[in-house]
Structure 1
Amino acid sequence: MTRATEAYTFAAIAIASYIVLFLGLVPLPETVQDKIIPVLPWWALITFGCYCLGNIGNAMYTFRDCPEAYHELMGEISQAKSDLRSKGLQLN
């Protein structure tokens, strides 16, 4: 199974489960049926958003700097500038 197929399968199972719970086909206490089940999609959306923000924040925090690549790039820039100056181009 591909990742997309797994994701679609999980989504279909989750949606089917929610519909069964929302329509009351499974006997649940009245408090759960009236107060918790209707807000489950919002809870899932907020939880997913928090996960995404945390994942992005963690990726930014653990992003590795590459000082050798920086120095290599700066060397190439200075080499390009000197080459352009030798051809008569005015640079700032």
Structure 2
Amino acid sequence: FCTATASHLSKMTKATETATFFAIISAIYFTFLFGIIPLPEIVQREILPVLPWWALITFGSYSLGNIGYHVYRFRDCEDAYHELMAEIQLAKEDLRSKNVSTEDNVL
């Protein structure tokens, strides 16, 4: 017997959740597209064929807007910058004490 519980189902990875979501949406879409569940003729002929493109463009627009908004709202991290530069300087000094070259122009 299957003893899966709600807590077991919540342990799906994000990739599994995404794949499951797209599988369900695809099954529903193709059910309508191929007429298994009847819809008005104009919907099946003119709306359903372009629905995936509309979804893709909508998702892309949302993604670009979201990225742009968060880049605009990104705060400078002066403290983190100075802390990182101090750690780099300490690492260089440690390497120099061990006779390791730390040329600044080396990638």
Q: How do 1:61-72 residues align onto structure 2 when only pairs under 5 Å count?
A: 61-70=72-81
Q: Could you give the per-residue CA deviations for residues 13-49 of structure 1, whole angstroms, max 9, x where no partner exists? A: 1111111111011111111111100100100110110
Shift of 1:55: 1.3
Shift of 1:68: 3.0
Q: Among residues 12, 27, 41, which one is paired with 1:30 in the alignment?
A: 41
Q: How do 1:6-45 residues align onto structure 2 when only pairs under 5 Å count?
A: 6-45=17-56
For residues 21 and 77 of structure 2, what CA distance do their matches in structure 1 show?
A: 39
1:47 aligns with 2:58: yes
Shift of 1:70: 4.4
Q: Which blocks of at least 5 consecutive residues in structure 1 are unaligned?
A: 81-92
Higher RCO (CA 8 Å, separation ≥ 6 residues) = 1
Q: Report the 3-state secondary structure (helix = DSSP H, G, I; strand = E; otherwise coil) of the residue aligned with 1:34.
A: helix
Q: Which blocks of at least 5 consecutive residues in structure 2 are unaligned?
A: 1-11, 93-107
Considering fraction of residues, name the structure with more helix.
1
Q: Report the 3-state secondary structure (helix = DSSP H, G, I; strand = E; otherwise coil) of the residue aligned with 2:50.
A: helix
Between Structure 1 and Structure 2, how many residues are aligned?
A: 78
